[in-house]
Every structure is written in structure tokens, then in C-alpha cells.
Amino acid sequence: MEWRDEGLIVGIRKHGESSAIVEVFSRGHGRHLGVARGARSKTNAPALQPGNSVSAVWRARLDEHIGNWTLEPTRLRSSEILGSAMALHGVNYLGALARLLPERDPHPALYETFELVADHLHAPDVGPALMARLELAMLAELGFGLDLERCAATGAREDLIYVSPKSAKAVSRAAGKPWKDRLLPLPAFLAGGSAQADSTDVANGFRLTGYFLEREFFAPRGSPLPDCRRAFIAAAIKLIPAKF
């Protein structure tokens, strides 16, 4: 068997003397593993790193085999990632998010979002907000999309600043005021409003998405939210302005 695709490297681990098992989130074939011969050589190692995009050829005698990769880099981000603690934590978290998806299950629209986030992992002005939006997209892709279009209580479409932790639906300022301490904050950049997000907005955005990711997907697997997520958020908050 053989197929060709484009993909993003989201994980790599040693295999033998010089090879590696490389985990690629591909456009048309989903999250896929394979052995890359010589991946740890001085020539290949810089190109075959998490966060880099590749043109991939996967071959195996049978579909259920792990198979072998032929990988050619198409977008090298290693230097940008290695130069930023936020980006290093972020690329590890991309791998953790990808592993929530069933192996070999294609998610082409989500793949595009992963690539976009990977391009901006080092950029504190947009990278953290994009990561929070990716988490929101992951929730929808996994079957738990939040309803942020109208107020759950009144049907209003304006001034939506909360989300109900029970219903996962937006709540307006007026309707939510009596129960605001029990509601999750909904920052404008996740509600389709302002594209800019200051440090408070980003913290509130990750609080919102993290609540549902943990409750619906990580906790049922017996796992907390990944440490790399907490480290990414902490590094991001230090770099983002408190107010624009």
C-alpha cells in the first residue's frame, strides 16, 4: 500500500540506532505514524522535527502495519520554535491535541487550523488567541461544539459575555448578571467580535475551552489537562500586553 499527502509533524520518538517513529497529522489521512529511516542523522534531524510541515509518502505491505515514511520538508519552523519557550510548549501541545483524534481519521479543515497555529506559535500577538480558537474548533470536531450564537436564556445575539458550564451555551450580560459567579467568561475574540486579545482575554479564553476539554475528553481518559498546555498559557500571558 502507498499514499501521498501533506502533513504537520506532531511527534517523534527514537527507533533503533538512527531511525524514528514519526507522527504526522496529514490533510487527507489524519494522524498517522510510520518509521522514518535515518531520521536522526545529522542531515535529516533538523528537518524532521515537531512543528515542521512535510510532503509525505507512506508505504506498507498491509494497511494495519505501521509502515515507513519518506518525508520531504516543505515548511521549516524549527528555528522559530527553538527560539521561543512559548512556541516549544505550544508545539508539544499541538501533539497532545492531535492525539485526541482517532488515528488515521481525516480532519482536513482542522488540519488547516493546525498549520495556521504552527505558523504563529512564536508570535505572542496572535499565537495564543489562535491556539484558543483551535481548542474551540477541536471541541466542535470531537462532537461537543459550544453554542455561542445567541443567549441561552433570551435568544439575544448581542452582548454575549458568558457561557453556561452546564449547557455550553452563551449567556448575555443582562441575563447572566444574577449568576455571573457561576458562569464562564466569553471573551470577544472567541465570540466572533474583536480580533485582538489582551492577556485577560486570553486567560479567560483558555479558562473557557479548558473547562470543556477537561470535562468531556481528558478527565474521561483519566488524564488532567496536559502540562504543556499550562506551560504554554503561562509563557503567553507573560508576553501579551495587559491591555491594547
pLDDT digits (tens, 9 = 90+) for 187-201: 999 987 666 789 999
Give the residue extent of every domain in the chain: 2-76, 81-148+186-239
Give pLDDT, residue 244: 55
Q: Determine the straight-line distance between the first and last CA of the chain, rounded to whole angstroms.
A: 53
Give pLDDT, residue 193: 61
3-state secondary structure 28-91: CCEEEEEEECCCCCCCCCCCCCCCCEEEEEEECCCCCCCCEEEEEEEECCHHHHHCCHHHHHHH
Q: How many CB atoms lie within 10 A of CB 73?
A: 17
Q: What is the largest CA-CA distance in the chain?
A: 63
Torsion angle of C-alpha atoms 225, 91, 120, 78, degrees rounded to 10: 170
Q: Which residue matches cell numbers 490533510?
A: 27
In sequence order, the β-bridge partners of residue 11 are 23
Q: What single DSSP character describes residue 221?
A: G
- Looking at CATH, the fold of the domain delimited by 2-76 is given as OB fold (Dihydrolipoamide Acetyltransferase, E2P) (2.40.50)
Radius of gyration of the chain (CA): 19
Give pLDDT, residue 195: 61
Nearest to 239 by CA among 111, 131, 112, 95: 131
Cβ(26)–Cβ(104) below 8 Å: no
What span, in angstroms and rounded, lies between the C-alpha atoms of 241 and 24?
A: 34
Instruction: Look up the pTM and report it.
Output: 0.94
Give pLDDT, residue 83: 94
Residues of the chain with pLDDT under 50: none
Q: Which helix (H) or strand (E) holds 174?
A: helix 173-176
237 alpha carbon, distance to own chain's centre = 17
3-state secondary structure 121-168: CCCCCCHHHHHHHHHHHHHHHCCCCCECCCCCCCCCCCCEEEECCCCC
Give pLDDT, residue 64: 86
Cβ(83)–Cβ(47) below 8 Å: no
